[in-house]
Homo-oligomer: A and B are copies of this chain.
Amino acid sequence: MSPRRSNPRTRSTLVDIAAGLLADEGPDALSARRIAAEAGSSTMAVYTNFGGMSGLVRQMVYEGFARMEAYFSHVLHTDDPVADMTLFGRAYRHNALTNPHLYAVMFGGASLAGFSLTAEDRQYGRFTLSTIVECATRCVTAGRFRVGDAELVAHQLWTAIHGLVTLELGEYLIDPWNADVVFEAQLTGLMVGLGDTVESATRSVTSSLGRFKEEVEDVRPLIPAQDDPEDG
């Protein structure tokens, strides 16, 4: 009754090769033929395992969100929620700059020809935001933020940092204002705009810079297995 099962390692190796190709040579290097050639198989492997290039790309997007969550999970909860929040911002930017092409596929609309995210995919991405919402709640209850709705706060922070990262990846933020300067100013400005005082916001932003180098920067998220925890 039950037929031949697909090799579990095939899925993960295909995704690994595709992710490496995207990271090393950019989106134009992503092709079914190229991936299959480097995997030593035919292009049909992409179709039996993922239903086409879209499915494979979608799997890479999921992995991208997993990497982002890995960075977020290393942000500790301290008694300075605003510092925690700015640290999330630093982690978010760090993840995007570490995986620029993958980030572009995740949030860049139709970054890859013929591929677009489904509503379910975006819901996956939005779920990652729940960590930020939780931290925003702590900022509000601590009296540091004026606005009461944590979800609105999270969206404001997300959109602002995302925009900076996007323009930075697009090489729009260079001389004389490089992205670092704008980012630091943006962090402080956002906290003040949400209700924190200039003094405490500046302190929190500064402290999170030190924490970033210890807690987040060197995190090397392991590539998660794709639906099949099999590994060799």
Contacts and interface: CB of A to CB of B under 8 A. Distances in A.
A25 interface: no
Q: How many copies does the complex hold?
A: 2
Given A104-B110, A109-B104, A193-B190, A164 B159 contact: yes
Nearest to A164: B159
B126 A155 contact: no
Contact of A111 (B110, B160, B173): B110
- A contact face: mostly helix, strand, loop, or mixed: helix
Interface string A76-113: 00000000000000000000000000001001111111
A176 to B, nearest CB: 7
A114 interface: yes
Contact of A156 (B126, B151, B182): B182
A74 interface: no
A168 to B, nearest CB: 8
A34 interface: no
13 contacts: A27-B110, A104-B109, A113-B113, A122-B171, A152-B177, A156-B182, A158-B163, A159-B173, A160-B160, A163-B165, A166-B166, A188-B193, A192-B192
